Amino acid sequence: MKNILITGATSGIGYAIMSLLSHNSDNDIFFTGRRKINRVNYYPCDLVDMFEIETLYNKACEYFNSPIDILINCAGQYMYKPIEKMSFDETSYLLDVNFKSAYILSSLVVSGMKKNNWGRIINIGSISGMVGEANATIYSATKSALSGLTKALALEVAQNNITVNQINPGWVETPLADDALSEDEKQEVIDVTPQKRFIKPIEVAKLCEYLISDDAKGLTGQNINLCAGLSIGC
Ligand SMILES: NC(=O)c1ccc[n+]([C@@H]2O[C@H](COP(=O)([O-])OP(=O)(O)OC[C@H]3O[C@@H](n4cnc5c(N)ncnc54)[C@H](OP(=O)(O)O)[C@@H]3O)[C@@H](O)[C@H]2O)c1
């Protein structure tokens, strides 16, 4: 049995990951988001609050009654505006949700993984953190920071049979993309994407399924761009 904690699992990519992984009876899943859901394996929590993050971790450990084997940091927020229009509060909010929550949860789960001499951490980044996205400078920077965390932590725990990897999606069909893009902008995204399409959430979920498997044990510290070719030019 593998104990899996997934953030951002109430919607979009995280929901697809949770749905796919819960089909495997060898997986036990605890998940989080901000909305109220009445499930024994769910704790609603705003990841900007580091005390809430600690409570989330404790609730997950109580539920599993054993250490967390797999952490999937998927929760994230996107903001599209010129840098001079970003307030300090908005900037620190994005940093907290997109980067700091992943770092805090990673630091909490790693001791149990080391004891078990097995673990998997997957961070959901963005192609914007790999190539940069104008008018989403802070968002891009938070995802680049996450990529730095992924690589350095992978090195730190490499001898403990723990892998740390990052999936960097291009535009994915989720409520985040729906909120961020008008219908015309969606067509522009399709036009500039080499494969002329959006990524589907299930494609990210399938890659997670592979990354947590024993077949992927040699893959660590990697940034995998799942972006329909967006990172290679147009
Ligand atoms: N969609 C894309 O095109 C795309 C592209 C590249 C990368 N990504 C990344 O993929 C990840 C998931 O995005 P998505 O498209 O699936 O977005 P989504 O459908 O909007 O889902 C976001 C998830 O994160 C949770 N969340 C947001 N802010 C939170 C906070 N402050 N505290 C706790 N949970 C919070 C939400 O929970 P509630 O709704 O319950 O509050 C929800 O479960 C994000 O990290 C995003 O940056 C998305």
Catalytic residues: 139
pTM, 2 dp: 0.98
For ligand 1, atom 20, the nearest C-alpha belongs to 176
DSSP letter for each residue of 56-69: HHHHHHHHHTS---
CA angle 150, 55, 140 (to 5 degrees): 30
Distance 124 CA to ligand 1 centre (A): 9
pLDDT, tens digit (0-9, with 9 covering 90-100), for 90-148 = 999 999 999 999 999 999 999 999 999 999 999 999 999 999 999 999 999 999 999 99
Domain 2-227: give its CATH architecture: 3-Layer(aba) Sandwich (3.40)
Closest CA to 144 of 158, 162, 123: 123
For ligand 1, atom 47, the nearest C-alpha belongs to 76
pLDDT, tens digit (0-9, with 9 covering 90-100), for 165-180 = 999 999 999 999 999 9
What pLDDT shows up at residue 233?
Answer: 81
Give me the residue spans of the domains in the chain.
2-227
Distance 194 CA to ligand 1 centre (A): 24
Hey, which residues does 223 pair with through a beta bridge?
166
pLDDT, tens digit (0-9, with 9 covering 90-100), for 187-203 = 999 999 999 999 999 99
Q: Encode burial over 166-179: b for 16+ CB neighbours within 10 A, e otherwise.
A: bbbbbbbbbebbee
Instruction: Locate 223 and state its tokens.
Output: 């940034």
Residue 234 has pLDDT above 80, yes or no: no
* Ligand 1 neighbours by CB, cut-off 6 Å: 8-14, 33-35, 46-48, 74-78, 97, 124, 126, 169, 171-172, 174-177
What pLDDT shows up at residue 100?
Answer: 98
